[in-house]
């Protein structure tokens, strides 16, 4: 397994293709160091006895010990450990751990490439396994590029005025494909080794050129990363791990890019029979990513609840009933979201490829709750902190020769707390709640992994409402087939079958 230092060396060898404002920069740019600092946590703990169990796994390809962020889940236990690892690592960085997207996409590909091969006689799964072995051996970090620019939201890819609004194959050759398009809002790519590219929606027969999946190094010829970094404001006077972090979101331009055949995992342009699997893959990535959210989002909530509890103490209001009540709402959400993910692992099933797939309804229910509550949680933190988190003078002012002491004096609230700690607490919450990066994290909490409406659609596609109605029919004396012991959602064993049917059957296609 790789060390953080080796990861940094890998990045420094990459070509500069990061566009920040009017500059083109490489991986040594200070504005992406905050993101790299987050990835550090995913490398640092693999050999520590108390972390090893959650942070490593055994490869089903080579049987070697690997970083869990490069693992294809083989069991319920794998899903549970991934969820726990995510929660614990997110505590250490005060939010998103940023390494889950790539491996979530690879888990989705492990399910779908196998099924495409079974249906069409292609050899995508073997290619995928070879790629996966390379990925695991080199302990790589990947982003997942799913979200397309999408143009007119109500039009399908082939109906768009500009055909490049969704990433597409413009040519299939003997040795690979040429792709053109732009994936937007993509996290971590400037400090990832690789990008895993998957479709973002169902594709009908006329959309066959858009049914494409592949992986490429993030500095590949023709790839341009239009990046917006955001970082917390560090302290000049003390060290604090929670202030070191950052994020980078990117528009990835594919300017007629060649993808070698061994890195292509779906291509409706080369074989139209593969087209319906685009929707299956899109949903599968969203599914794995939403399951990862049931690990990270509870941690985000706990970070907010933790800051809210601390500031309540520092403000001298921690024993008031309203403060306790508000904090309990955040904790309650965190635990429910985590429980949904745990339960979805317990109700998981094996795909034909051997990959373990979490329960879809439970995962989506957890992820949607997290998304809906995110602004409420920030509201509670802001409520208990008071307005100072938005008005705090710059840190240097508190150490200024002339006004520093005065500034500290007027920070004082709880007599038991040193003004210097008051300052650290307010500065921490200023970063967490009202900084540039805080804004990004709030929107990520809502839209990342799909807007709440997408989770609703996915849940309701799978939820058996006929069975649900049986409860009312039974209670109201109307003839019903109610089996009181059966959960009204789909039974876990049929979940994948329903997935496939929804994405692939002709009737569904026409209804889209």
Ligand X SMILES: Cc1cc2nc3c(=O)[nH]c(=O)nc-3n(C[C@H](O)[C@H](O)[C@H](O)COP(=O)(O)OP(=O)(O)OC[C@H]3O[C@@H](n4cnc5c(N)ncnc54)[C@H](O)[C@@H]3O)c2cc1C
Interacting residues with ligand X (CB under 6 A): 101, 143-147, 150, 153-154, 185-187, 249, 440, 443-444, 447-448, 450-451, 453
The first and second tokens of residue 241, run together, are: 């791990």
Give the nearer residue to ligand X in terms of CB position, either 150 or 346: 150
| Radius of gyration (C-alpha) of the chain in whole angstroms | 24
Give the nearer residue to ligand X in terms of CB position, either 101 or 278: 101
The first and second tokens of residue 16, run together, are: 């500069």
Give the nearer residue to ligand X in terms of CB position, either 153 or 506: 153
Query: Considering the complex, what minimum distance in angstroms separates the CB of residue 79 from ligand X?
Result: 20
Query: Considering the complex, what minimum distance in angstroms separates the CB of residue 453 from ligand X?
Result: 4
Query: Considering the complex, what minimum distance in angstroms separates the CB of residue 119 from ligand X?
Result: 25
Apex CA 325: angle with CA 299 and CA 336, to 5°? Answer: 40
Query: Considering the complex, what minimum distance in angstroms separates the CB of residue 422 from ligand X?
Result: 31
- The residue whose two tokens read 């005025």 is 161
3-state secondary structure of 163: helix
Q: SS3 for 269-315, per residue?
A: CCCHHHCCHHHHHHHHHHHHHHHHHHHHHHHHHHHHHHHHHHHHHHC
Task: Select from 19, 67, 20, 64 the least CA-distant residue to 40.
Answer: 67
d(C-alpha 28, C-alpha 18), whole Å: 11
Show Cβ contacts of residue 221 under 8 Å, excluding neighbours closer than 6 positions: 257, 258
Give the nearer residue to ligand X in terms of CB position, either 252 or 381: 252
The first and second tokens of residue 498, run together, are: 């329903």
Apex CA 109: angle with CA 108 and CA 113, to 5°? Answer: 130
Write down how long the chain is.
512
Query: Considering the complex, what minimum distance in angstroms separates the CB of residue 323 from ligand X?
Result: 30
d(C-alpha 112, C-alpha 499), whole Å: 11
Query: Considering the complex, what minimum distance in angstroms separates the CB of residue 275 from ligand X?
Result: 19
Query: Considering the complex, what minimum distance in angstroms separates the CB of residue 444 from ligand X?
Result: 3
Q: How many CA atoms lie within 13 A of 347 on its CB side?
A: 20
Give the nearer residue to ligand X in terms of CB position, either 154 or 321: 154
Query: Considering the complex, what minimum distance in angstroms separates the CB of residue 24 from ligand X?
Result: 22
* Segment (H or E) for 194: strand 194-197
Burial 100-135 (b: 16+ CB within 10 A, else e): bbbbbbbbbbbbbbbbbbeeeebebbebbbebbeeb
Give the nearer residue to ligand X in terms of CB position, either 101 or 305: 101
Give the nearer residue to ligand X in terms of CB position, either 406 or 443: 443
Give the nearer residue to ligand X in terms of CB position, either 133 or 436: 436
Give the nearer residue to ligand X in terms of CB position, either 198 or 327: 198
Query: Considering the complex, what minimum distance in angstroms separates the CB of residue 305 from ligand X?
Result: 21
């Amino acid at each position: 397994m790789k060390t953080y230092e080796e990861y940094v060396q890998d990045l420094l060898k990459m070509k500069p293709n990061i566009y920040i404002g009017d500059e083109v920069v490489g991986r040594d740019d200070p504005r992406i160091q905050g993101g790299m600092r987050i990835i550090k946590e995913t490398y640092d703990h693999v050999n520590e006895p108390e972390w090893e169990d959650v942070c490593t796994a055994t490869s089903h390809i080579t049987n070697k010990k690997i970083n869990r962020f490069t693992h294809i889940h083989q069991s319920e236990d794998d899903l549970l450990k991934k969820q726990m690892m995510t929660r614990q690592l997110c505590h250490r960085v005060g939010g998103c751990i940023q390494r889950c997207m790539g491996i979530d996409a690879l888990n989705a590909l492990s399910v779908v490439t196998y099924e495409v091969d079974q249906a069409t006689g292609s050899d995508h799964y073997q290619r995928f396994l070879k790629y996966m072995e390379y990925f695991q051996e080199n302990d790589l970090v990947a982003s997942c590029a799913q979200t397309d620019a999408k143009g007119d939201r109500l039009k399908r890819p082939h109906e768009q005025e500009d055909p490049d609004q969704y990433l597409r194959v413009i040519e299939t050759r003997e040795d690979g494909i040429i792709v053109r398009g732009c994936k937007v809002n993509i996290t971590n790519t400037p400090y990832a080794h690789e990008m895993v590219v998957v479709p973002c929606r169902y594709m009908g027969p006329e959309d066959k050129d858009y049914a494409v999946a592949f992986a490429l190094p993030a500095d590949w010829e023709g790839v341009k990363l239009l990046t917006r970094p955001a970082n917390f404001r560090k302290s000049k006077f003390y060290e604090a791990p929670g202030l070191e972090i950052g994020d980078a979101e990117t528009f990835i331009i594919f300017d007629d890019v060649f993808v070698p055949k061994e890195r292509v995992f779906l291509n409706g342009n080369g074989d139209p029979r593969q087209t319906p699997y685009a929707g299956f893959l899109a949903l599968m990535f969203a599914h794995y990513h939403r399951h990862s959210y049931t690990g990270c989002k509870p941690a985000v909530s706990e970070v907010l609840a933790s800051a809210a509890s601390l500031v309540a103490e520092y403000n001298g209001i921690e024993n008031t009933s309203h403060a306790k009540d508000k904090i309990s709402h955040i904790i309650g959400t965190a635990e429910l979201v985590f429980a949904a993910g745990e339960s979805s692992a317990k109700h998981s099933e094996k795909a034909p490829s051997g990959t373990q797939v979490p329960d879809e309804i439970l995962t989506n229910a957890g992820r949607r709750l997290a998304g809906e509550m995110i602004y409420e949680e920030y509201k509670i933190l802001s409520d208990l902190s008071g307005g100072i988190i938005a008005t705090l003078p710059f840190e240097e002012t508190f150490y200024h020769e002339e006004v520093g002491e005065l500034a500290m004096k007027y920070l004082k609230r709880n007599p038991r707390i040193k003004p210097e700690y008051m300052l650290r607490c307010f500065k921490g919450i200023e970063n967490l709640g009202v900084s540039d990066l805080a804004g990004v994290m709030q929107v990520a909490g809502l839209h990342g992994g799909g807007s709440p409406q997408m989770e609703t659609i996915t849940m309701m596609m799978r939820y058996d409402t006929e069975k649900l109605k049986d409860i009312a029919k039974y209670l109201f004396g109307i003839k019903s087939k109610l089996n009181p012991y059966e959960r009204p959602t789909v039974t876990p064993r049929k979940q994948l079958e329903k997935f496939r049917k929804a994405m692939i059957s002709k009737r569904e296609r026409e209804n889209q």
